[in-house]
Amino acid sequence: MNIILASKSLQRKIILEKLNLKFSIIEPNINERITNKDHENPKEYCSNLAFTKANKISLLHPNSYVIGADTIIYFKNRIIGKPKSKKDATEYLKSFNRNIHHVYTAVCIINKSEAINKSLIDKTIVTFNNINNQDIDFYINNHNSLNKAGGYGIQDWSSVFIKKIDGCYYNVVGFPLPKFYLIFKKLIKK
């Protein structure tokens, strides 16, 4: 069985490796930069991006199981993706201060030759601590905040910003492993 992760995310690679699956990685190279999309449905938005990533690679590899994923933050009726600049990342983190936001990750699995097109979505509620500007500045200047939805990664130093989560930790990192495993296991047993 040939499995391809259609992603450039190191975190997704690390998470998927936990299943001891042999897979290759092909970056889909699509434009996924978004900021402040007002009033769009967050589930539909990230599901469409996950499908676009998986579908682009599956057209080139129709006999493979291609996995695409996308993570966004939904905060005050706005979709927040990866920041375009350190200034954007700083503004995002300041706005999350003492607030709750929702992290959505969609995953799409496509195998064209077997007519498989299966999607899932997970949501985790994240509550931020009261964080100060010095900690935000330290994080922005010493860690890569530009390649993470909302400008932070729960798996790195910014974990100190998190008061609590309600839902799957791996979903916040960018790949809801438990939910994916249950669905993928059923697909490959067919």
Whether residue 123 contacts residue 100, with contact meaning beta carbons closer than 8 Å, is answered with no
The DSSP result for the chain, as a single string, is --EEEE---HHHHHHHHTTT---EE-----------EET--HHHHHHHHHHHHHHHHHHH-TTSEEEEEEEEEEETTEEE-S-SSHHHHHHHHHHHTT-EEEEEEEEEEEEGGGTEEEEEEEEEEEEE----HHHHHHHHHHS--TTSGGG--TTSGGGGGEEEEES-HHHHHT--HHHHHHHHHHHHT-
Q: How far is CA 32 from CA 38, 70, 94, 124, 130, in A?
A: 16, 9, 23, 21, 30
**Active site residue ranges:** 70
